Chain A
Amino acid sequence: MTRVENVKERKPSPLSRFMPDEMAKRDGAGAERTYVGEVVESSTTELIAEARELHGGPSFGEFIRIEADLPVLGIIFNVFTHSIEPNRRPTAYGKTEEELRLEQPQIFELLRTEFQALIIGYLDGGAPVQILPPQPARIHSFVHLCTDEEVRAFTGNDDYLRRILNTSKVPTDELLIAVLRHTLRAHKHSRDYLVRMGKELSRLMGDDYDRLSSVIRRVAN
C-alpha cells in the first residue's frame, strides 16, 4: 500500500510511459484496471499472483479477493520482487532509482513483483464463509484488494485467526499483527473489536501469555 502511494507521488518524467501510473491513465479504463495482480500459481491453501505493477503488490497482511464464481479470499503473507529470468540476478548500479529510470528504463521491464496469499475463505453469494474454498482460484484470474466493508463482513467473527495461527509458512505472529492492524482499521479502530479478537487469541494461544501480550501490544500501538 505504502509503495503504491510512493509511486503515485513521483513527478512525471520523459519516460514516464513506462511507469505504471501513466499507463493506467493512458488506458483510461479504470474499472478494468483496479486489480492489483493476476494469479499465476494456485492451490487450495495458498496462491501466488503477479502484481500488475512493479513494486505495486498489496501490503503484507492485506485482504485480497480473487474474482471467480465463488470469489476466494486471502491474506498476503509474502511479497517479493525478482528478475524474470531465473538465472539472471539484477546487478547493483550505484545509482538512485530515479537516475536508473532515466538512463536504463529497460531494466525495470525485466523485474516482476509477485505476492503470496494465504487462502482463508470465500464468498458464497456475497456472504463470507470462513472455510477453504471447494476449488482453488483459477490461474490468470484477477486479484483485487478487499474494500473495508468486505473486510468488516469477513472479520465479524474470529474464526480467521485460527487459520492464521495454524500456518507454518510465515512468521505467524507478524502476519497476525499485520492482519489485525488492517482489520482494526476496517473496524474503525474499535477497541471493543480489538478486545474481542484479543480474547479469542488468548484462547487460541493457550498458555503463551508472553506471545499474546506482545501481539496485543503491537496491534494496539
Chain B
Amino acid sequence: MAKSKGDGATAKTRGEAIGVITKGSLVEGLEMKLDSAQNVEDMKAGKFVVIEGDKNDFFSMVTDMRLDAKNQEVLLHPPGREDDILRKVLAGTSTYNIVSLRPMLMMPKGAVDDDGPRPVKAIPSHFSEVQEAMEHDVAKIFGKEGDPEGRYFSIGNPLDMDTQVCLDMIRFAERSNGIFGKTGTGKSFLTRLALCGLIHYDKAVNLIFDMHNEYGFKAMKENGSSSTFVKGLKQLFGERVAIFSLDPQSTRARGVQADHEVYISYDQITVEDIAPLQDELRLNPTAVESAYLVYAIYKERWLRTLLALEGPDVEEFAREIGAHAGSLVALHRKLKRLENFPFMVSKVTDGDVVDRIMEYLDKGINVVLEFGQQTSMLCYLLVANIIARRIHEMYVKKSERFYATQRTEDQPRQLMITIEEAHKFLNPTAAKQTIFGTIAREMRKYYVSLLVVDQRPSSIDDEVLSQIGTRITALLNDEKDIQAVLTGVSGTEGLRSVLASLDSKQQALILGHAVPMPVVVKTRDYDTQFYKDMGCLDDLPEAERKAKIDKGTVALYGDN
C-alpha cells in the first residue's frame, strides 16, 4: 500500500498519491491499483496523472478502469447495503479497482527547462507511486500562455484541474488540422477558438469558408432552450478581419456591412471546378468528359457558351463538337442550376474576387467568406473550390518565387483555409479531384494548410486524414469515426474509450502535432474574459480604442 509521501527531495508540490503501478507494458500501457481511500468515480477517462518512477516522471492519461475482486465468493454474496463496515473493509482488499494508464511522455527527474518531455521509451518500476498532475506539471508539458514568442495559446483546462492546456500555435499553423465531433458538440466553438488563437498570435492568416455564418459577425450560442449571441471574429479583431459575402443582404440583416461582395462570373469556372460536384449534381462520369470537349473549343468561355444554349440546340451543339448528345444534354440540364445562384454573373464589375482576397491575405487580413442564405452544399462546394484553387495557384507561384530568391520579404504568409463539412471535399473520390485534397496532402511546403471541420471523419480520405497534424476532437460515438480520427496517431489504443466518453459540451480531446501528448480539455469559455484576452476593442474606453485602431491600421497599411 502506498503510504509514504516520498523522501524530502522528491516530495515537492505534487498531488496526493492515488495508487501504485502494479503491472503493464510499454506497448499495452500500465495498470494502477487504486488506493482504497480513493473513490473510483473520481478517476475519469482522460484524467491527467503523473507516475513518479525512480529516475523519470511519466505523464500519463487515464484510459480505462475496472472493478476487480480477489475471489468469486465476494461477488456471489455481496455485502448488503447496510453492511457499511464490511464494504469498507473489502474495498481495496478483496474488491479493488484497477485503472489503466497510458504513459504519454517521460521527463527525467530534476530536468531543467530545456530538457523537456520526451516520448516514452521506458516504464516505471513496480509500485511506483501515481499522483494527480499539478499545475506545474501541465505547464511544463503544454507551455504557458503569454510567452514572449506568442507561441502558446490556451485552449482550456485539463479535466478537474484549474490550469491551462496550451496549443503550440507555430506547430498548429504549419500543418493541416482537423476539428471533429458530432453535431452539437461545439465544433464551431472549437474552431472559433482555434481561429482566435491563430489571429491573435498572428501565426497564420486565415481564409474561412463560413457556410453557416458563424465566424464573421455574431454567432448563436446554443444554450439549452435560450440562445444567446457571442462575438464573431470581426468584432474581436476589427480591421484584421474582412467579411466577404455571397449574400450581402443576409450579412446586412445580421447587422454588419460586408467588406466585399462576392460575384463569380461564368468564365471563372473551370471544368475542374465542376468535377467535384459530380455527387451534388448527380453527373455521370461522361459528363465531365463532355465538359472537357466544350472546354477544348471554347476555353474559359465554355460554361457561358454551354449555358447560353437552349434545350433543343444542345444536341446539335453536341454533334458539332463531337460529344455524346445525351451526355451533353444531361450536363447542360444540370449545370443550368448554377444560373439560379444570385452571385453568378455574366461579368464581374469590381475586379476578380480572388485577387481581392489575395490582396487582403497578403496584408495579413483574415478573410471570412460568408454564404448567407446560400447554404446549399452545391454552392459551398463550388465557391470554395473555385476560390481555393485560385488561391492555391497563387501561393504556389509565391512560394516558388521565394524559393528562387530566398529573400525573407518574399516569404509567403502561412495561410490556413478553414472548410466545413470537409468530408464533401475530402472523401476518397473528391479528394482526388478537389483542390483541398492536394492542399491537405502537399501544400505544407507551399505555406498553405487546412483547418478541416467535420462531423463525419470516417468519410474523409485516409490519405488526407493521415496528413492531419493536430486533431481537436469533441465527442464521437460512431466506431468508424473514432477509428478515423485516430488514424495515423501511434499509441492510441487507450484513447478510444476516452473519445467515446467525452461530455457533449465543452470537452475535447486534443492530439497531434501542436500538443506534446494527447490531452482531454474542458475548453475555454468564450466569454467577456476571453474577448478581453483577445484584445477585443469594444469594451475599451474610447481614446484607448482609437489609439489601438490607428496603431493597427498603421501596421497593416503603412503610415499613409
What is the interface of chain A, defined by CB distance below 8 A to chain B?
A: 191, 194-195, 198-199, 201-203, 207, 209-210, 212-213, 216-217, 220
Q: In angstroms, how far is the closest chain A Cβ from the Cβ of B56?
A: 31
Chain B residues within 8 Å of A191, by CB:
85, 88
A217 to B86 Cα, complex, angstroms: 7
A39 to B263 Cα, complex, angstroms: 111
Known A199-B92, A207-B70, A216-B89; 18 more pairs at CB < 8 Å: A191-B85, A191-B88, A195-B85, A198-B85, A198-B88, A199-B36, A202-B90, A202-B93, A203-B93, A207-B71, A209-B73, A209-B74, A210-B73, A213-B77, A213-B79, A213-B83, A217-B83, A220-B85
Q: Pick the contact of A195 from B70, B71, B88 — CB < 8 Å?
A: B88
Chain A residues within 8 Å of B73, by CB:
207, 209-210
A191 to B89 Cα, complex, angstroms: 10
Contact of B85 with A209 in the complex, beta carbons under 8 Å: no
The SS class assigned to the A binding surface is helix
Closest to A199 in B: B93
Contact of A198 with B71 in the complex, beta carbons under 8 Å: no
Give chain B interface residues in 532-556, CB to chain A under 8 Å: none
A39 to B93 Cα, complex, angstroms: 40
Contact of A194 with B85 in the complex, beta carbons under 8 Å: yes
Contact of B85 with A216 in the complex, beta carbons under 8 Å: yes
Q: Is B94 an interface residue (CB 8 A)?
A: yes
Chain A residues within 8 Å of B90, by CB:
202
Q: In angstroms, how far is the closest chain B Cβ from the Cβ of A181?
A: 13
What is the interface of chain B, defined by CB distance below 8 A to chain A?
A: 36, 70-71, 73-74, 77, 79, 83, 85-86, 88-90, 92-94
Q: In angstroms, how far is the closest chain B Cβ from the Cβ of A168?
A: 24
Chain A residues within 8 Å of B71, by CB:
207, 209
Chain B residues within 8 Å of A210, by CB:
73, 77
Q: A199-B36, A202-B94 given as contacts; is B89 within 8 A of A209 (CB)? A: no
A214 to B100 Cα, complex, angstroms: 33
Q: A191-B85, A198-B86 given as contacts; is B77 within 8 A of A209 (CB)? A: yes
Q: A209-B71, A210-B73 given as contacts; is B89 within 8 A of A198 (CB)? A: yes
Q: Which of B73, B86, B89, B93 has the most CB of A within 10 A?
A: B89
Q: In angstroms, how far is the closest chain B Cβ from the Cβ of A195?
A: 4
A210 to B79 Cα, complex, angstroms: 10
A210 to B77 Cα, complex, angstroms: 9
Contact of B94 with A209 in the complex, beta carbons under 8 Å: yes
Closest to A219 in B: B85
Chain B residues within 8 Å of A213, by CB:
77, 79, 83, 86
Q: In angstroms, how far is the closest chain B Cβ from the Cβ of A211?
A: 10
Contact of B86 with A199 in the complex, beta carbons under 8 Å: no
A139 to B86 Cα, complex, angstroms: 42
Chain A residues within 8 Å of B79, by CB:
213
A202 to B89 Cα, complex, angstroms: 7
Closest to B1 in A: A199
Chain B residues within 8 Å of A207, by CB:
70-71, 73
Chain A residues within 8 Å of B70, by CB:
207
Closest to A191 in B: B85
A220 to B89 Cα, complex, angstroms: 12
Chain B residues within 8 Å of A209, by CB:
71, 73-74, 77, 94
Chain B residues within 8 Å of A212, by CB:
89, 94
Contact of B83 with A199 in the complex, beta carbons under 8 Å: no
Closest to A198 in B: B89
Chain A residues within 8 Å of B92, by CB:
199
A199 to B37 Cα, complex, angstroms: 12
Q: In angstroms, how far is the closest chain B Cβ from the Cβ of A159?
A: 15
Chain A residues within 8 Å of B93, by CB:
199, 202-203
A198 to B88 Cα, complex, angstroms: 9
Chain A residues within 8 Å of B88, by CB:
191, 195, 198
Chain B residues within 8 Å of A198, by CB:
85-86, 88-89
Q: In angstroms, how far is the closest chain B Cβ from the Cβ of A187?
A: 14
A220 to B73 Cα, complex, angstroms: 21
A194 to B88 Cα, complex, angstroms: 10
Please, could you name 19 A-B residue pairs with CB atoms under 8 Å apart, sorted by A? A191-B88, A195-B89, A198-B85, A198-B86, A199-B92, A202-B89, A202-B90, A202-B93, A203-B93, A209-B71, A209-B73, A209-B77, A210-B73, A210-B77, A212-B89, A213-B79, A213-B86, A216-B85, A220-B85
A201 to B90 Cα, complex, angstroms: 10
Closest to B85 in A: A220
A198 to B86 Cα, complex, angstroms: 8
A207 to B70 Cα, complex, angstroms: 7
Closest to B93 in A: A202
Q: In angstroms, how far is the closest chain B Cβ from the Cβ of A165?
A: 15
Q: A209-B94, A213-B79, A217-B83 given as contacts; is B89 within 8 A of A199 (CB)? A: yes
Q: In angstroms, how far is the closest chain A Cβ from the Cβ of B38?
A: 14
A134 to B439 Cα, complex, angstroms: 84
Q: In angstroms, how far is the closest chain B Cβ from the Cβ of A170?
A: 23
A213 to B79 Cα, complex, angstroms: 8
Chain A residues within 8 Å of B89, by CB:
194-195, 198-199, 201-202, 212, 216
Chain B residues within 8 Å of A195, by CB:
85, 88-89
Q: In angstroms, how far is the closest chain A Cβ from the Cβ of B2?
A: 14
A30 to B73 Cα, complex, angstroms: 54
Closest to B86 in A: A216
Q: In angstroms, how far is the closest chain A Cβ from the Cβ of B34?
A: 14
A207 to B75 Cα, complex, angstroms: 12
A78 to B83 Cα, complex, angstroms: 31
A199 to B79 Cα, complex, angstroms: 15
4 A-B pairs with least C-beta separation: A198-B89, A202-B93, A209-B73, A195-B88
A216 to B93 Cα, complex, angstroms: 14
A209 to B72 Cα, complex, angstroms: 9
Q: In angstroms, how far is the closest chain A Cβ from the Cβ of B103?
A: 29
